[in-house]
Chain A
Amino acid sequence: MQQAQAMSTNPTVDDLFSRFGAPAFVPQPTPDLTPTLWVDANQILDVLAHLKPRFPMLLDLFGMDERLREHKPAGAADFTVIYHLLNIADREEIRLKVAVSSDDPCVPSAVRIWPNANWYEREAWDMYGITFSGHPNLRRILLPPTWEGHALRKDHPARATEMEPFSLDAQKQDAEQEALRFKPEEWGMARATADTEFMFLNLGPNHPSVHGVFRIALQLDGEVVVDAVPDIGYHHRGAEKMAERQTWHSFIPYTDRIDYLGGVMNNLAYVMAVETLADIKVPDRAKVIRIMLAEFFRISSHLVFYGTFAQDVGQMSPVFYMFADRERLFGIIEAITGGRMHPAWFRIGGVAQDLPRGWDRLVREFIDSMPARLDHYQVMAMDNSILKQRTVDIGSYSTKEALEWGITGPSLRATGMDFDLRRDRPYGGYDQFEFEVPLGHKGDSYDRAVVRVEEIRQSLRIIRQCLDNMPEGPYKSEHRLTTPPPKEGTLQNIETLIHHFLNVSWGPVIPVGEASFPIEATKGINNYHLVSDGGTTSYRTRIRTPSFPALQQIPLISRGLMIPDLIAIIASIDFVMADVDR
């Protein structure tokens, strides 16, 4: 009911109703209170174009297979395309859904409204076979070109054991090899102009500076990049498909490996979305512990960025200092969680354990020592004139471009856009903390680094506040869906015992509904869109990561520059391939 009220008083929804008529929409209540409207496929472009001035960013666009759902929402058909828009100025979100039937799953392409719809639509086609009419280049994006079927459809097997045994005969091998042949025309590049013959350089998927398995096909004139076409999917593990097999609880370790430098930051986005679905209130101590750990991982991720950034412009030493700091930081993480890069330590309703004795001493030592070291790095790396020469005014974009391409986080703030979810739409207790949101102004490679370096200091400030004000109390919620459920009382009381038994052996049953929870992760906005059909597993898990749109934008900012500039740009946008491909 609260939802219906929120919907009817929402000015954006009112505006849409008055513009297109209320019957054009079917509202769907969701536990996260984001207005969600079903729209007809014929009208979707008009609606999106109408919303664009208010919602400059297409945060996410993805498909969904509704066919096996027991609790289908009104308006749903076989497949759904979901548009998630973000209005930064008013901290507002809206979700639009288009239903398509499996006979003709076709939706008009939104590429002309938001350029970043390009890759998202390719992904939706790749995964669900939904076509987008008017799309310039509707090819597979994550799966290999020879793949059969659409992997996220419910009738596509999730495991190799559900498929025919795999064999690679000579014929198939030749076909696969042939599919790998590089034809510039297929990538949208000409082989030559009237007076120049271009050289094509295949940078990656294995290259020292592409940070994982990322491939860019370069069209070169000498060393000048005429065009660059990114190719992704080499790190695709099907995390979204796995989520449909894992219990709500046992999916947590998979999230660690999405942005593998972000550790528990991924857990946070996921458990917050589950808690929204289940309506779980997390106790204060758990909130502060979560924030502290998340900020530790922000520092850790930014330190890797800092070191590799300097390394990629040819400075050899800084990365060793920063990794040494990160090692000390992992020591603390290990003392608290038992894990290092992937602690999988957050739980639905809290965290796995209370803080160990003496944690405060470790944390204090670290945050006391870091500022001086950061000053040292400032002189060593950021103030270095050659580093500046290599990065200032290289790969710059404006705030408007950043918004159009779905760039979030530090890379958006580097353009001067003052927007940080932690401050502007505080979640999980961030409203209790004092910190500044560092900004750049030129949106170039150097500013992207400056913002991140400053964020390390701000994170230290947040951690100090956690240290000084750690509340007493339970580290997980009393809620019945908290996982694992409280063990106390199981030997006294049969109800508690049964509950414990079921929630541990089967996993919790999360109420039917849909929720997403955007958070300010290390590299930008990370958002888990979860659909529960009332089972022990998620019906659909959509992971919106900040790295995906960042790579899509590379060609735009690197044309006309040289190979070393491209490397500096790649270094400055801070992505990890696991976060791109999922």
Chain B
Amino acid sequence: MSELDTIGFGLVIIAAAVGGAAFLTWFERRLLGVWQDRYGPNRLGPFGVLQVLADMIKLLTKHDWVPPFADRAVFIFAPTAIVVAMLLGFAVVPFGPELYILDLNIGLLFFLGMTSLAVYSVLLGGLASNNKYALLGGLRSAAQMVSYEVFMGLSLMGVVMLTGSFSLRAIVEAQRDLWFCIPQFLGLFTFLIAGIAESHRLPFDLPEAEHELTAGFHTEYGGMKFAMFMLGEYLGLLLISCMIATLFFGGWLGPWLPPVVWFGLKVFILICFFILLRAAIPRPRYDQLMALGWKVMLPLTLLNLLLTGAIALLMEGA
């Protein structure tokens, strides 16, 4: 692709990702509604889909307020950071064999780096608010990040071992015969958990934890800045789903349908799964979550790494 095309395609992807995230806010509410024996937003436009627009108008026209006791610069920077980091993460996602912005040879590392950066947003937002609930939310977020970042990266190393590359396109190509969700089911499991933790969604929404910390790290946020946090969360959900589809479910691979449709379909199913998780599971206590991370998930990840390494060596020998 020429440079101009890349930029153009990049813009398309940004628009699609932001649009998709906005659509997700409606879709999630609707789906939760169905599962919870109620309607959800169904009034505006067909099936209530224009609710997204109404919400956007509402949030955009709200008073853009910074609390006088907050650290102004950081307070404004925090919600931007999460959106930027998440959007950059989309740069390495291969949507089809030729549909991608960048094919970095360290694509996977780039993705991990971007999601890690996003955590700063929550942390800084919590700190800058100068509010006790926000501070507790920020604290939890820091603890959660330390515990879950560790095995998030490690859980993907099995995939890298089997492929022999960090390039996401190469990883998809390597799944022609067998999707990695089968040989790497332990990796998939651990990455899934880490992914939810990373995107701060129930049952891992401890930094927010409405019932404990009112709204956690974004207690002081309103209007567009709050919307940015929400957008960041949904972009995160989208990105994690894209990554799981790419890394474990063969990305764009699939018979009959065009590759990009396959990719979309897989992402869609994963998103529904994430929403179902949110609807079904209660929130563990924060120390229980830490214990799960260090005592269960990390050993599992290491075990997976060990086994994958051993098998890879054996196969090479044979």
**CB of A86 to closest CB in B, whole Å:** 35
User: Given known contacts A317-B280, A321-B36, is B211 in contact with A311 (CB within 8 Å)?
Assistant: yes
A390 and B132 CA atoms in complex are apart in Å by: 23
Which A residue's beta carbon lies closest to that of B283?
Answer: A314
User: Do A314 and B280 touch (CB < 8 A)?
Assistant: no
Interface stretch (choices B59-67, B240-248, B285-293, B294-302): B285-293
A317 and B283 CA atoms in complex are apart in Å by: 12
User: Do B282 and A320 touch (CB < 8 A)?
Assistant: no
Query: Which residues A298-326 have CB closer than 8 A to chain B?
Result: 310-317, 320-321, 324
User: Do A316 and B279 touch (CB < 8 A)?
Assistant: yes
A314 and B35 CA atoms in complex are apart in Å by: 17
**CB of A308 to closest CB in B, whole Å:** 9
**CB of B29 to closest CB in A, whole Å:** 12
Q: A209, A222, A390, A563: which contacts B282 (Cβ < 8 A)?
A: A390
User: Do A567 and B132 touch (CB < 8 A)?
Assistant: no
Which B residue's beta carbon lies closest to that of A325?
Answer: B37
User: Given known contacts A316-B32, A387-B282, is B211 in contact with A201 (CB within 8 Å)?
Assistant: no
User: Do B35 and A390 touch (CB < 8 A)?
Assistant: no
Q: A310, A386, A564: which contacts B286 (Cβ < 8 A)?
A: A564
Taking CB atoms, residues of chain A closer than 8 Å to B288 are 389-390
Query: Which residues B141-156 have CB closer than 8 A to chain A?
Result: none
Q: A208, A316, A567: which contacts B278 (Cβ < 8 A)?
A: A316
Interface stretch (choices B3-11, B90-98, B202-210): B202-210
A130 and B144 CA atoms in complex are apart in Å by: 53
**CB of A527 to closest CB in B, whole Å:** 32
Which B residue's beta carbon lies closest to that of A316?
Answer: B279
| B1-36 interface code vs A (CB 8 A; 1 in, 0 out) | 000000000000000000000000000000010011
B113 at the interface (CB under 8 A from A): no
Chain A contact-residue range equals 20 to 34
A69 at the interface (CB under 8 A from B): no
| A223-249 interface code vs B (CB 8 A; 1 in, 0 out) | 100000000000000000000000000
Main secondary structure of the interface of B (DSSP, over half): helix
User: Given known contacts A321-B37, A387-B282, A562-B287, is B211 in contact with A314 (CB within 8 Å)?
Assistant: yes
Taking CB atoms, residues of chain B closer than 8 Å to A567 are 211-212
A199 and B131 CA atoms in complex are apart in Å by: 12
Query: Which residues B235-287 have CB closer than 8 A to chain A?
Result: 278-287
Which B residue's beta carbon lies closest to that of A308?
Answer: B211
B194 at the interface (CB under 8 A from A): no
A384 at the interface (CB under 8 A from B): yes
User: Do B211 and A310 touch (CB < 8 A)?
Assistant: no
User: Do A564 and B37 touch (CB < 8 A)?
Assistant: no
Number of residues on chain B facing chain A (CB within 8 A): 29
Taking CB atoms, residues of chain B closer than 8 Å to A574 are none
B105 at the interface (CB under 8 A from A): no
Q: A201, A208, A317, A386: which contacts B36 (Cβ < 8 A)?
A: A317
User: Do B214 and A207 touch (CB < 8 A)?
Assistant: yes
User: Do B211 and A312 touch (CB < 8 A)?
Assistant: yes
A565 at the interface (CB under 8 A from B): yes
Taking CB atoms, residues of chain B closer than 8 Å to A321 are 36-37
A-B contact count (CB 8 A): 81
User: Do A314 and B209 touch (CB < 8 A)?
Assistant: yes
User: Do A320 and B37 touch (CB < 8 A)?
Assistant: yes
Taking CB atoms, residues of chain A closer than 8 Å to B133 are 201
A223 and B209 CA atoms in complex are apart in Å by: 13
Query: Which residues B33-63 have CB closer than 8 A to chain A?
Result: 35-38
A369 and B132 CA atoms in complex are apart in Å by: 46
| A313-344 interface code vs B (CB 8 A; 1 in, 0 out) | 11111001100100000000000000000000
B81 at the interface (CB under 8 A from A): no
Taking CB atoms, residues of chain A closer than 8 Å to B285 are 389-390, 562, 564-565
| A548-581 interface code vs B (CB 8 A; 1 in, 0 out) | 0000000000000011110100000000000000
A389 and B285 CA atoms in complex are apart in Å by: 8
User: Do A209 and B211 touch (CB < 8 A)?
Assistant: yes
Taking CB atoms, residues of chain A closer than 8 Å to B279 are 316-317
**CB of B251 to closest CB in A, whole Å:** 31
Taking CB atoms, residues of chain A closer than 8 Å to B127 are none
A310 and B283 CA atoms in complex are apart in Å by: 10
**CB of B25 to closest CB in A, whole Å:** 16
User: Do B286 and A317 touch (CB < 8 A)?
Assistant: no
A310 and B282 CA atoms in complex are apart in Å by: 8
Which B residue's beta carbon lies closest to that of A390?
Answer: B285
Q: B32, B36, B139, B202: which contacts A314 (Cβ < 8 A)?
A: B202
**CB of B139 to closest CB in A, whole Å:** 8
B86 at the interface (CB under 8 A from A): no
A389 and B211 CA atoms in complex are apart in Å by: 17
User: Do A563 and B136 touch (CB < 8 A)?
Assistant: yes
User: Do A386 and B211 touch (CB < 8 A)?
Assistant: no
| B119-145 interface code vs A (CB 8 A; 1 in, 0 out) | 000000000000011001001000000
Taking CB atoms, residues of chain B closer than 8 Å to A208 are 210-211, 214
Taking CB atoms, residues of chain A closer than 8 Å to B36 are 316-317, 320-321
Given contacts A208-B214, A209-B212, A320-B37, 10 further A-B contacts (CB under 8 A): A208-B210, A314-B211, A314-B281, A317-B36, A384-B282, A386-B281, A390-B283, A563-B212, A564-B209, A565-B285
| Chain B residues packing against A (C-beta within 8 Å) | 32, 35-38, 132-133, 136, 139, 202-203, 205, 209-214, 278-288
